[in-house]
Structure 1
Amino acid sequence: MADHEPEYFETSSLIASDMVEGTPVFNRDGEKLGKVLNLMVNKHSGQVEYAVMSFGGFLGIGEDHYPLPWKKLKYVVARHGFVVDIDKAKLDKAPKHEGNPVPIFDAAYSAMITGYYGNGR
């Protein structure tokens, strides 16, 4: 019996969450905005609600964390990363937090994020 965790790899339509974490995020003009830090998964539906994108700082200190609706991210093979239709000016004004304390991802927080970014792509 093996005493290590199995490793999961991507298929044509699925990818393991640990492979998503660290993936770069670009805007539509090709500028790197940050990288995926975490995925926030709804415990009841099993659906990914947000990708938390980290940006700035040095060695994890002073980074800002931006919750982006998962539906806003599109994986682009040629970029080896996600592309979002968000420019830097909109991102500068977007809801964010600096590491701790982590906000409570409840219905009110979800409504705020959806209100800022809108629904869908």
Structure 2
Amino acid sequence: MTDDPIDVESLARSDLIASDRVEGTIVYNRKGEKLGRISNFMVDKQSGQVRYAILSFGGFLGIGNDHYPLPWSMLDYDKDQGGYVVELDKEVLDDAPRHDAEARPVYDEPYGRSVYDYYGLTYPW
């Protein structure tokens, strides 16, 4: 471990990002509307691959937010906006799979298939 200062400029150019910098990142749709923030993400224990970004949306001051699992492949990082962009209208979230913070679903194959099916994607596992 070193005491060297972090080169923030180099981090911005990197293809990698620390998990604590993903959490809290704003998610926009293609119209530039703010959909919410990434509250956390789900990582495959074996491969280390991120499967879902959990979009936190609704509620007031973070209380009562719903959490929407979005397949990671749906997100594109936009440097200009400093956030992730997804091809979704806000209305699509009305019926999307979601849960509250205290009632996380089991992210098993049937649940994963239901999430991917909802967004019109092929479940890859």
Does 55-64 or 12-21 show the bigger shift?
Answer: 55-64
Cα distance in 2 for residues equivalent to 1:118 and 1:76: 23
Cα distance in 2 for residues equivalent to 1:99 and 1:60: 10
The CA RMSD over aligned residues, in Å, is: 1.9
- TM-fit CA distance, 1:118: 2.6
The unaligned stretches of length 5 or more in structure 2 are none
Residue number in structure 1 paired with 2:51: 49
Does 10-19 or 80-89 show the bigger shift?
Answer: 10-19
Residue number in structure 2 paired with 1:112: 114
Instruction: State the percentage of identical aligned residues.
Output: 55
TM-score with structure 2 setting the length: 0.85
Q: Determine which of 32, 56, 62 is the counterpart of 1:60.
A: 62
Partner amino acid, structure 2, of 1:47? Q
Q: Which has the higher contact order (CA 8 A, sep 6+)?
A: 1
Cα distance in 1 for residues equivalent to 2:86 and 2:40: 16
Residue number in structure 2 paired with 1:83: 85
Does 77-86 or 92-101 show the bigger shift?
Answer: 92-101
Structure 1 segments (4+ residues) deviating >4 Å? none
Cα distance in 1 for residues equivalent to 2:26 and 2:63: 18
Cα distance in 2 for residues equivalent to 1:37 and 1:88: 18
Describe the superposition over 1:34-83 as per-residue Cα deviations: whole angstroms up to 9, x where unpaired: 00000100001110000001011123211010000000000000110000
Partner amino acid, structure 2, of 1:108? P
